[in-house]
């Protein structure tokens, strides 16, 4: 029982550290981007409307949700994350 708990704790810590590393990388890349947030949102929306590939639409929708999350527009972020998940489920 102790070994299982230790394994679970180790995996949880590794997952948490990986999540922190990824989020800091995304934040850094968002802050160093020269385009204004409104322009990035407009470009992603345009790319989503012009793209035919479900994979590309899913990635662009997730990127759009990430931007909305970073600017604390949580309702729009949630909406776009769920759209990306719906596309992923349809592809199964």
List the domain range (segments joined by +) for residue 26.
1-32
* Whole-structure pTM value: 0.60
> Do 89 and 57 share a structural domain?
yes
What is the reported pLDDT for 37? Answer: 84
| DSSP code at position 54 | H
> Do 57 and 39 share a structural domain?
yes
> Do 41 and 19 share a structural domain?
no
Measured between alpha carbons, how far is 17 from 15 in angstroms, rounded to an integer?
Answer: 6
> Do 50 and 19 share a structural domain?
no
Point out the residues of the chain with pLDDT beneath 50.
24-28, 32
What is the reported pLDDT for 80? Answer: 93
Buried b (16+ CB within 10 A) or exposed e, 33-52: eeeeeeebbeebeebbeeee
């Amino acid at each position: 029982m102790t070994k299982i708990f230790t394994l679970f704790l180790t995996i949880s810590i590794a997952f948490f550290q990986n999540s922190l590393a990824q989020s800091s990388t995304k934040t850094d890349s968002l802050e160093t981007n020269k385009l204004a947030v409104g322009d990035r949102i407009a470009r992603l929306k345009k790319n989503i409307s012009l793209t035919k590939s479900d994979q590309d639409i899913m990635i662009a929708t997730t990127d759009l949700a990430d931007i909305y999350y970073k600017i604390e527009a949580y309702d729009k972020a949630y909406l776009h994350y769920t759209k990306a998940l719906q596309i992923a489920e349809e592809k199964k």
